[in-house]
Amino acid sequence: MAWHAVQALVFDVFGTVVDWRNGVAREAAPFLERHAPGRVDAHDFADRWRSHYVPSMQAVSSGRRPFVRLDVLHRENLEAALRDVGVDPAGVPASELDALNLAWHRLDPWPDSVGGLARLKTRYIIAPLSNGNIRLMLDMAKRAGLPWDAILGAEVAQAYKPTPQAYLRTAEVLGLQPAQICMVAAHNGDLAAARQCGLRTAFVRRPAEHGPGQTTDLHPQQDWDAVVGSLDELADLLVE
Amino acid sequence: MAWHAVQALVFDVFGTVVDWRNGVAREAAPFLERHAPGRVDAHDFADRWRSHYVPSMQAVSSGRRPFVRLDVLHRENLEAALRDVGVDPAGVPASELDALNLAWHRLDPWPDSVGGLARLKTRYIIAPLSNGNIRLMLDMAKRAGLPWDAILGAEVAQAYKPTPQAYLRTAEVLGLQPAQICMVAAHNGDLAAARQCGLRTAFVRRPAEHGPGQTTDLHPQQDWDAVVGSLDELADLLVE
């Protein structure tokens, strides 16, 4: 692969750079203890909240709904997830729901993320290309020390991955050809969509993203341009 | 002033954070030596290039033209400035014009900017709210070490200052009320427009922005919420 042509690395974030499942579970646990004591496992709740993520974005991507930022979808999905587990969100003060919704702003990076990104930044432009909105990514980066050069992604592109516009508008903002950009993700579907748009691709194995029983995205499904076990390993590959 | 309510500081960049005039003159000098030897002073040329800046944005702000990023306007304005000084841009290779256009990506910060921003970042969200596009601001920040939390501004808002949308859409992206944001600028006009939108205001004296003969923006024209001589002084005021 002609890595010398690549000028920017853009990253999926939820699952690839940060551990959303344990972070959301940590934030949800005291809430669930108050509103459904002893009834709902916090990790199961995190999975359930996340299960509404793709369908909620599809409403936007299909054109049934104008673009709204992920904070708005997360807030709606939180109410749906609560109903799923038998908690009536109408019985919870809105301020508590708003506070819990910020769980996604306070996720911890995987142990290799900050160091790997810092090394990659010395040679490449690094930016999230996440479906998370700008303020969400900003809060997360400020708390965790993620050293992004800029915050790109769905809100800047006004389109959610995996629609082509999310990748192509990001290339346009960067003033680069798609082949000068590498998408870094732990998800085969994200990389497949990026490759369709002409981007380079790097797969990061994150076998614990979905917990101990993970069955998806354990292995690369195409001959991605790079396959690594961590962002440190990606830096070993791409930076002296 | 109730500074405790302020959560984000957004910055004008050209003139406030970086010294555009000396930077552009430095980059233009060898170009002018090749194409108009001995005829055009590099600082005069920087002033002339900049003189097309406001009119070019007005075409967008008035609706006569759809939004285009500042790199595009700068490139057109470069050709206009060359014609102003008697150089036919059609006689210059496009690659040379493209390269000179990147002068705006390589401007040096004022001596207090990097240190002041680093201190302000410990307490506030800091982001440019510049008319410069994302890639321009990104290149500048990466080269100079400006520690932005995110790159906001005209391209994210799809509107140029001083139109209200530039300020109000930035507040929306930040998920903040205008009064929770302070605009930091060396230009009274920028602050006046920000105040009209409900933002807080901080004036930074930059008496050398336009060179030794500067006559504009030497003094605050309203009772701005803060008036300082540098970003370090702003940090003295706002951060322990």
Q: What is the ipTM of this complex?
A: 0.96
Q: Per DSSP, what are the bridge partners of residue B181? A: B8
Contact at 8 Å (CB) between A216 and A51? Answer: no
Please identify, among A81, A105, A129, the residue that sits at the C-terminal boundary of a domain.
Answer: A105
According to the model, what pLDDT value does residue B240 have? 75
Shared domain for B177 and B145, answered yes or no, is yes
Q: Looking at beta carbons, which residues of chain B come within 8 Å of A122? A: none
Residues whose CB falls within 8 Å of the CB of residue B113, separated by 6 or more in sequence, listed in order: B17, B18, B144, B146, B231
| Partner-chain contact B138 A149, CB within 8 Å | yes
Q: Who among A71, A125, A155 is closest to B138 (CB)? A: A125
| Min Cα–Cα distance to chain B from A218, Å | 32
Shared domain for B100 and B124, answered yes or no, is no
Q: Looking at beta carbons, which residues of chain B come within 8 Å of A174? A: 134-135
- Quickly state the pLDDT bin for B1 (edges 50, 70, 90): confident
Contact at 8 Å (CB) between B128 and B137? Answer: yes
According to the model, what pLDDT value does residue B120 have? 98
| Partner-chain contact B175 A141, CB within 8 Å | no
| Inside any domain, residue B3 | no
> CA–CA separation, B12 vs B187, rounded Å?
8
According to the model, what pLDDT value does residue A2 have? 79
Residues whose CB falls within 8 Å of the CB of residue A151, separated by 6 or more in sequence, listed in order: A127, A128, A134, A137, A138, A141, B150, B151
Contact at 8 Å (CB) between A152 and A127? Answer: yes
| Partner-chain contact B173 A141, CB within 8 Å | no
Q: Looking at beta carbons, which residues of chain A come within 8 Å of B133? A: 173
What would the pLDDT profile of B63-76 be if each residue is shown by its tens digit? 999 999 999 999 99
Q: Who among A135, A142, A149 is closest to B173 (CB)? A: A135
Q: A218: which DSSP letter? A: S
The nearest alpha carbon in chain A to B144 belongs to A149
| Inside any domain, residue B2 | no
> CA–CA separation, A198 vs B73, rounded Å?
28
Shared domain for A178 and A95, answered yes or no, is no
Shared domain for A97 and A147, answered yes or no, is no
Q: Looking at beta carbons, which residues of chain B come within 8 Å of A141? A: 149-150
Shared domain for B101 and B117, answered yes or no, is no
Shared domain for B88 and B131, answered yes or no, is no
Q: A18: which DSSP letter? A: B
Query: What b/e sequence results for B13-33 when a residue is b if at least 16 CB atoms lie within 10 Å of its CB, and e otherwise?
Result: bbbbbbbbbbbbbbbbbebbe
* Residue A219, phi then psi, degrees to nearest 5: -135, 155
Q: The tokens of A30 are what?
A: 């005291």
Q: Looking at beta carbons, which residues of chain B come within 8 Å of A156? A: 134, 156
| Partner-chain contact B151 A150, CB within 8 Å | yes
| Inside any domain, residue A96 | yes
| Inside any domain, residue B47 | yes
How many domains, in total, are found in chain A? 2
What would the pLDDT profile of A101-135 be if each residue is shown by its tens digit? 999 999 999 999 999 999 999 999 999 999 999 99
| Partner-chain contact A138 B156, CB within 8 Å | no
Shared domain for B223 and B118, answered yes or no, is yes
| Inside any domain, residue A3 | no
| Inside any domain, residue A138 | yes
What would the pLDDT profile of A23-55 be if each residue is shown by its tens digit? 999 999 999 999 999 999 999 999 999 999 999
| Partner-chain contact B173 A152, CB within 8 Å | no
Shared domain for A95 and A154, answered yes or no, is no
- Quickly state the pLDDT bin for A156 (edges 50, 70, 90): very high
Whose structure tokens read 């010294």? B19
| Inside any domain, residue B1 | no
Q: What is the CATH number of the domain that holds B57?
A: 1.10.150.240
| Min Cα–Cα distance to chain A from B123, Å | 11
Q: What is the CATH number of the domain that holds B175?
A: 3.40.50.1000
Please identify, among B61, B90, B105, the residue that sits at the C-terminal boundary of a domain.
Answer: B105
Give the number of A-B residue pairs with CB atoms closer than 8 Å. Answer: 45
| Inside any domain, residue B96 | yes
Domain that holds residue B42: 20-105
Q: Per DSSP, what are the bridge partners of residue A182? A: A9, A200
Shared domain for B91 and B133, answered yes or no, is no
Please state the pTM of the whole predicted model. 0.97
Q: Please report, as a single letter, which amino acid is at residue B39.
A: R
Shared domain for B73 and B122, answered yes or no, is no
Q: Which of B47, B89, B92, B55 has its CA nearest to residue B73?
A: B55
| Min Cα–Cα distance to chain B from A27, Å | 21
Shared domain for B119 and B92, answered yes or no, is no
Neighbours of A219 (CB within 10 A): 10
Q: Looking at beta carbons, which residues of chain B come within 8 Å of A125? A: 138, 142
Please identify, among A48, A80, A105, the residue that sits at the C-terminal boundary of a domain.
Answer: A105
For every residue of chain B, which 3-state class applies, written as one string?
CCHHHCCEEEECCECCCECHHHHHHHHHHHHHHHHCCCCCCHHHHHHHHHHCHHHHHHHHHCCCCCCCCHHHHHHHHHHHHHHHCCCCHHHCCHHHHHHHHHHHHCCCECCCHHHHHHHHHCCCEEEEEECCCHHHHHHHHHHHCCCCCCCEEHHHHCCCCCCHHHHHHHHHHHCCCHHHEEEEECCHHHHHHHHHCCCEEEEECCCCCCCCCCCCCCCCCCCCCEEECCHHHHHHHHCC
Shared domain for B13 and B94, answered yes or no, is no
> CA–CA separation, A58 vs A63, rounded Å?
8
